[in-house]
Amino acid sequence: MNAFPAGLAAVALVLLAGPSPLRAQRPATPAGAASATPAQTAGNVPLVPAQATWDSFHGQLNAQKYSPLTQITAANVQHLQKVWEFHTGDVSDGSGKVPATVWSATPIFANDTIYIGTPFYRLIALDPTTGKPKWSFDTHTPLKATTQPVLKNRGVAYWAAANPVPGAPCQKIVYMGTMDARLFALDADTGRKCAGFADDGVLDVNRWNNTPKKWPLSLLQPPTVVGDHLILGWAGKDWAYEHAPAGTVWSINARTGQREWTFEALTPEMRKHSGTANVWTQMSADPTLGLVYLPVSSPSPNFWGGNRTEDAPYATSTTALDVATGKVVWSRQWVHHDVWDYDVDSAPTLVDITVDGKPIPALIQATKMGFLFVVNRKTGEDVWPIEERPVPGGDGSVKGEHLSPTQPFPTLPRPLLDQSRKPEVWPLADAVGAGQCSRLWNKLAYRGMYTPPTTRGEGTLAFPDSAGAVQWGGVAFDPVSQTAVVNTSRLVQYVKLYDREAYEKADKGSGNESGFAPQIGAPYGMRLEVARNWLGMPCWKPPFGELVALDMHTGLVKWRRPVGASQQYGFFMPERWGSPTIGGPAITAGGVIFIGASMDAKVRAYALATGKELWSDQAQAPAVANPAVYEYKGREYVAFVAGGNTILKDQVGDQIVVYALPEN
Amino acid sequence: MPMAPLRSFPTGVFVLLASAVAGLVLALYAYFTPLTGVTGTPGALAVIVACAVLAVLALTQRVAVKHTARATLRVAIVLLLLAICFAALLLHRWWICVAMGVGLAGVVVDMIRPASTGNGARA
A552 touches A352 (CB < 8 A): no
Percent of chain A having pLDDT more than 90?
Answer: 84
Predicted pLDDT of residue A300: 93
Q: What percent of chain A has pLDDT over 70?
A: 92
Q: What's the rounded Cα separation, in Å, for the pair A106 and A127?
A: 16
User: B121 at the A interface (CB within 8 A)?
Assistant: no
pLDDT 10s digits, A343-382 = 999 999 999 999 999 999 999 999 999 999 999 999 999 9
Q: Pick from A643, A660, A661, A659: which is nearest to A117 by CA?
A: A643
**A60 close contact with B: CB closer than 8 A:** no
Residue pLDDT, tens place only, A295-352: 999 999 999 999 998 889 999 999 999 999 999 999 999 999 999 999 999 999 999 9
Mean confidence (pLDDT) of chain A: 92
| ipTM confidence score | 0.88
Question: Between A511 and A620, whose confidence is greater?
Answer: A620
Q: What is the DSSP letter of A206?
A: G
A95 to chain B, any CB pair closer than 8 A? The answer is no
**HEC string for A249-313:** EEEEECCCCCEEEEEECCCHHHHCCCCECCCCCCCEEECCCCEEEEECCCECCCCCCCCCCCCCC
d(CA A662, CA A649): 33
Contact B35 A572 (CB under 8 A): no
State the maximum Cα–Cα separation within chain B, in Å, rounded to a whole number. 49
d(C-alpha A37, C-alpha A323), whole Å: 11
The pLDDT tens digits of the residues spanning A76-89 come to 999 999 999 999 99
Is residue B84 less than 8 Å (CB to CB) from chain A? no
Is residue A16 scored above 80 in pLDDT?
Answer: no
Q: What single-letter DSSP state applies at residue A489?
A: E
CB A304 within 8 A of CB A286: no
- A617 to chain B, closest Cα gap in Å: 9
Residue B106, SS3 per DSSP: helix
In whole angstroms, give the CA distance from residue A477 to residue A585. Answer: 9
Enclosing H/E stretch for A526? strand A524-530
Helix, strand, coil percentages in chain A from 3-state DSSP, rounded to 5: 10, 35, 55
Q: What is the mean pLDDT of residues A219-232?
A: 98
CB of B8 within 8 A of CB of B122? yes
List A262's β-bridge partners, or say none: A250
Selected residues 22-81 of chain B with any CB under 8 Å from a CB in chain A: 34-38, 41-44, 46
Look at residues A255, A245, A249, A256 and name the one whose alpha carbon lies nearest to residue A232.
A249
pLDDT band at residue A30 under the 50/70/90 scheme? low
Distant-in-sequence, close-in-space partners of A492: CB < 8 Å, separation ≥ 6: A423, A461, A462, A463, A464, A530, A531, A538, A539, A540
pLDDT tens per residue, range A473-528: 999 999 999 999 999 999 999 999 999 999 988 877 776 667 899 999 999 999 99
A35 pLDDT band, cuts 50/70/90, is: very low
pLDDT per position as a tens digit, A534-556? 999 999 999 999 999 999 999 99
- What end-to-end distance do the CA atoms of chain B give, in Å? 20
Confidence tier at B115 by pLDDT (50, 70, 90): low
Q: How many CB pairs under 8 A join A and B?
A: 29
Q: Give the pLDDT band (50/70/90) at residue B1.
A: very low
Which of B36, B85, B90, B97 should one mutate to test binding to chain A, selecting the residue with the greatest count of A CBs within 10 A? B90
- Closest chain A residue to B44, measured at CA: A570
* Cis? peptide before A212, omega within 30° of 0: yes
Q: Which residues have C-beta within 8 Å of that of residue A528, sequence separation ≥ 6? A: A239, A303, A465, A466, A493, A494, A495, A513, A514, A515, A517
